[in-house]
């Protein structure tokens, strides 16, 4: 492929929508219709051009976003097929960040589903051109008018039909272009073309005052003029074309290509912004697409290829990229030569001599690049801060699991393997919990983490098990107290002796730990005071009542005794740890638990069930908002311990139509009855008593 086109000729299109809505089948059909592939791939047969990953073939759904390209009507079309299930929303958002147009697949039999709404709203926020393709028009139980009504109710009156079906279900035999003149309405159309024409034209002229005046005066407006006005209305977010397709029969596919290439948005139609430097308050600056000048390209996806190493997928925002271009990562400052520049057709890579603003390409072996990074070309005045693209925003992963290697010696290898997977997936994280010492992975759902686990096994031959991680509780005290402890041990040789008297006092939340030496008269020799502090600090880390870290306490050592022969640092450390434990237990200990702010969005019909469930989780509802499309958002404050398995409960409760976000709010005291349960559980585990 050689670059024989310009920025205005490029159409970047993401295929999005809920799982099982037919996006990948549509992508295969588009590539085949344009002659970009010689045979039409099939998801069911495992021959799809774009769903080529082994895990995707096994599960029969898209997990990552995959690239393809075609030429149509003199336009260069870059396609990105994105995953549909909310579990893999990160890859769908990556796809949206790289394009100007999104085709939302709505299954004719199933109608609009939860992820379709979410991605439609995200595309609107980003200013993308939006198209709706009603898929599987040949399936049983398709009701086109009901689908169109639901689309307009959910997405607004700007969603209007650009073509109408001839027949529906098994009798579906084609589509009729609404803008073309029709003397009579053909039989078998669930929506007459004349009725659809009126809906469409009224929506198009609404965003153009001059056209509106001419239309109201009864003037007939030509098809080409309407198409030009439709492009402008799509760019303004005031028009969402609705089309019908059937990939099995290849009906409506070429019509979709015609519409996207004639009325879709080019890279010049969507405004993208960036900042210079790393200051948080740096003003935004528009990145204007140009075929020459300084290169600005953003990484929207990375992948670890078995043969080529790390692949970084770039959306070129402005400038030109060639194999000779010297690249700099604006985040880290690291540089490399581009080397080879590829366009992708599924897993097939084709080397190109250059790529211009608007193109979507991949480069290999620049290991320092991560999703959202901006690359520029090295040269010119490097003292001037370069323009860095605004970061891609991803939801925080909400489902944590602690990892246990099947083979202990694999722990380091598993950490490295998971880190590589996390580099590819911005909604998957891995961390070592400093308090619980567990290796914790977090994802969007149990399914998401199951896929990660399977990929670890397939790629690196490593196996692990997971469990719900321990909650990082904290221990503190609510009253002052004092205690002493004498450590005396006599063996055959030199003995051990130390006596330590301590006072403990609570301090303001968040102040941490303070140690005070109030010893007078040298009753504890100065050389042993550090050992006293060390003994206390070690007990702070281990905890007293529940095995969790102690915080916000002041410890004062004020008296003690030593022995000229048997005293040692170890003896004083042991005595201090035990004196602190005794004082802590007298000081009315309190367990603190992490509290999170939660926002749950689901159809309004589930509001009662969600509210009741939140109450059983010791949650307090702090607010609620009605959202478009019959959605309701609930804000609540809930203990983290009650939310660790919430994702699966929400999915079950809302039939997969609910979503939630969660962020840390702070720590609050655990209710006494819950505290007693946690303490009892800890004491039993220490005593080796298994719970029933």
Share the mean pLDDT of the chain.
92
Query: What are the tokens at 121?
Result: 């709203």
C-alpha distance across the termini of the chain, in Å: 66
pLDDT tens by residue, 59-110? 888 999 999 999 999 999 999 999 998 889 999 999 999 999 999 999 999 9
Residue 605 · residue 641 · CB < 8 Å: no
Q: Higher pLDDT residue, 603 or 69?
A: 69
Cα separation values, 247 from 129, 138, 252, 449, Å = 22, 9, 8, 32
Residue with structure tokens 């239309």?
A: 215
- Cα distance between residue 28 and residue 91, in whole Å: 19
Give the list of residues 6+ apart from residue 690 with CB closer than 8 angstroms, or none: 684
For helices 23-33 and 253-263, what crossing angle results, to 10°?
80
pLDDT tens by residue, 216-239? 998 989 999 999 999 999 999 999
- What is the reported pLDDT for 657? 81
Give the list of residues 6+ apart from residue 437 with CB closer than 8 angstroms, or none: none
Considering the domain 399-467 in this protein, what is its CATH number? 3.30.70.870
Beta bridge partners of 296: 318, 376
Query: What are the tokens at 96?
Result: 């949206």
Residue 358 · residue 267 · CB < 8 Å: yes
pLDDT tens by residue, 115-157? 898 899 999 999 999 999 999 999 999 999 999 999 999 899 9
Q: What percentage of the chain carries pLDDT values higher than 70? A: 97
> Band of the pLDDT at 181, cuts 50, 70, 90?
low
| In the predicted structure, residue 575 carries a pLDDT above the cut 90 | yes
pLDDT tens by residue, 451-471? 999 999 999 999 999 999 988
- What is the reported pLDDT for 3? 63
Beta bridge partners of 560: 500
pTM of the model: 0.83
Exposure of 442 in the CB half-sphere (CA atoms within 13 A): 17
Question: For every residue of 611-634, which 3-state class applies, written as one string?
Answer: HHHHHHCCCEEEEEEEEHHHEEEE
- Cα distance between residue 72 and residue 256, in whole Å: 11
- What is the reported pLDDT for 184? 78
- What is the reported pLDDT for 638? 96
Q: Do domains 399-467 and 592-674 have the same CATH topology?
A: yes
Report the pLDDT averaged over residues 521-531.
95
- What is the reported pLDDT for 688? 64
- What is the reported pLDDT for 114? 73
pLDDT tens by residue, 34-59? 999 999 988 888 899 998 888 888 88
- What is the reported pLDDT for 434? 76
Give the list of residues 6+ apart from residue 394 with CB closer than 8 angstroms, or none: 90, 93, 426, 427
> Band of the pLDDT at 2, cuts 50, 70, 90?
low
**Size (the chain), residues:** 692
What are the backbone dihedrals phi and psi of residue 2, each rounded to the nearest 5 degrees, phi first? -110, 155
Q: Please say whether the structural domain 592-674 has been given the CATH code 3.20.20.70.
A: no
Q: Which of 24-33, 41-50, 413-422 has the lowest mean pLDDT?
A: 41-50
- What is the reported pLDDT for 690? 47
Considering the domain 273-389 in this protein, what is its CATH number? 2.40.30.10
Report the pLDDT averaged over residues 616-635.
88
For helices 193-205 and 223-235, what crossing angle results, to 10°?
60
pLDDT tens by residue, 276-310? 977 777 889 999 999 999 999 999 999 987 778 89
- What is the reported pLDDT for 692? 38
Q: Please say whether the structural domain 7-263 has been given the CATH code 3.40.50.300.
A: yes
Instruction: For residue 43, give the 3-state DSSP assignment.
Output: coil
For residue 39, the tally of other CB atoms under 10 A from its CB is 10
Q: Give domain limits for the chain.
A: 7-263, 273-389, 399-467, 475-587, 592-674
- What is the reported pLDDT for 191? 95
Give the list of residues 6+ apart from residue 12 with CB closer than 8 angstroms, or none: 77, 78, 80, 98, 99, 100, 101, 267, 315, 358, 360
What are the backbone dihedrals phi and psi of residue 663, each rounded to the nearest 5 degrees, phi first? -145, 150
Quick one: which of 657, 670, 631 has its CA closest to 154? 631
Instruction: For residue 452, give the 3-state DSSP assignment.
Output: helix
| In the predicted structure, residue 384 carries a pLDDT above the cut 70 | no
Instruction: For residue 242, give the 3-state DSSP assignment.
Output: strand
Q: Please say whether the structural domain 475-587 has been given the CATH code 3.30.230.10.
A: yes
Quick one: which of 207, 183, 210 has its CA closest to 194? 183
């Amino acid at each position: 492929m050689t670059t024989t086109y310009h920025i205005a000729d490029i159409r970047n299109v993401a295929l999005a929508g809920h799982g099982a809505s037919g996006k990948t089948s549509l992508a295969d059909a588009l590539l085949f219709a344009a002659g970009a592939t010689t045979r039409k791939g099939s998801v069911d047969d495992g021959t799809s051009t774009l769903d080529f990953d082994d895990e995707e073939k096994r599960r029969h759904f898209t997990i990552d976003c995959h690239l393809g390209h075609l030429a149509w009507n003199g336009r260069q079309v870059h396609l990105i097929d994105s995953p549909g299930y909310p579990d893999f929303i990160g890859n769908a958002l990556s796809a949206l960040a790289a394009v100007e147009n999104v085709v939302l697949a709505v299954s004719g039999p199933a109608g609009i589903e939860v992820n379709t709404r979410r991605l439609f709203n995200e595309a609107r926020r980003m200013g993308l051109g939006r198209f709706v393709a009603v898929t599987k028009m040949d399936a049983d139980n398709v009701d086109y008018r009901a689908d169109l009504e639901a689309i307009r109710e959910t997405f607004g009156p700007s969603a209007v039909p650009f073509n109408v079906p001839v027949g529906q279900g098994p009798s579906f035999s084609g589509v009729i272009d609404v803008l073309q003149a029709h003397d009579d309405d053909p039989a078998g159309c669930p929506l007459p073309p004349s009725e659809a024409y009126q809906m469409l034209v009224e929506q198009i002229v609404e965003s153009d005052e001059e056209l509106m005046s001419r239309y109201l005066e009864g003037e007939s407006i030509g098809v080409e003029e309407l198409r030009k006005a439709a492009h402008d209305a799509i760019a303004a977010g005031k028009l969402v074309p609705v089309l019908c397709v059937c990939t099995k029969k290849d009906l409506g596919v070429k019509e979709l290509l015609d519409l996207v290439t004639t009325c879709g948005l080019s890279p010049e139609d969507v405004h993208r912004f960036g900042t210079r430097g790393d200051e948080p308050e740096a003003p935004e600056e528009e990145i204007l697409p140009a075929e020459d000048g300084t290169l600005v390209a953003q990484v929207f996806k990375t992948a670890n290829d078995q043969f080529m190493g790390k692949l970084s997928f770039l959306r070129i925002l402005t400038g030109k990229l060639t194999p000779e271009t010297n690249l700099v990562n604006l985040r880290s400052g690291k540089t490399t030569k581009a080397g080879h520049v590829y366009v992708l057709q599924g897993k097939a890579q084709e080397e190109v001599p250059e790529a211009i603003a608007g193109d979507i390409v991949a480069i290999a072996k620049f290991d320092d690049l991560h999703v959202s990074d901006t690359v520029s070309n090295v040269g010119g005045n490097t003292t001037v801060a370069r323009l860095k693209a605004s970061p891609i925003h991803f939801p925080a992963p909400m489902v944590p699991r602690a990892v246990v290697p099947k083979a202990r010696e694999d722990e380091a290898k598993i950490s490295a393997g998971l880190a590589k997977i996390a580099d590819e997936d911005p909604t998957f994280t891995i961390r070592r919990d400093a308090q619980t010492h567990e290796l914790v992975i977090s994802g969007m759902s149990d399914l998401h983490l199951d896929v990660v686990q399977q990929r670890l096994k397939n790629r690196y031959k490593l196996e692990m098990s997971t469990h719900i991680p321990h909650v990082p509780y904290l221990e503190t005290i609510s009253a002052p107290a004092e205690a002493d402890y004498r450590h005396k041990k006599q063996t055959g040789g030199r003995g051990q002796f130390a006596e330590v008297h301590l006072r403990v006092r609570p301090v303001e939340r968040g102040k941490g730990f303070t140690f005070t030496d109030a010893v007078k008269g040298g009753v504890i020799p100065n050389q042993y005071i550090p050992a006293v502090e060390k003994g206390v600090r070690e007990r702070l880390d281990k905890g007293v009542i529940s095995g969790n870290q102690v915080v916000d306490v002041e410890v004062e050592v004020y008296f003690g005794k030593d022995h000229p022969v048997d005293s040692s640092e170890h003896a004083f450390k042991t005595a201090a740890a035990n004196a602190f434990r005794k004082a802590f237990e007298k000081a009315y200990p309190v367990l603190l638990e992490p509290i999170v702010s939660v926002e749950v969005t689901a159809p309004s019909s589930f509001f009662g069930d969600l509210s009741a469930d939140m109450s059983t989780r010791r949650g307090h509802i702090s607010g609620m908002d009605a959202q478009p499309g019959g959605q309701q958002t609930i804000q609540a404050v809930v203990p983290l311990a009650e939310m660790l398995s919430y994702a699966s409960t929400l999915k079950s409760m809302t039939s997969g139509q609910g979503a939630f976000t969660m962020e840390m709010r702070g720590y609050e005291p655990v209710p006494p009855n819950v505290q007693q349960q946690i303490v009892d559980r800890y004491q039993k585990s220490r005593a080796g008593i298994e719970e029933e």
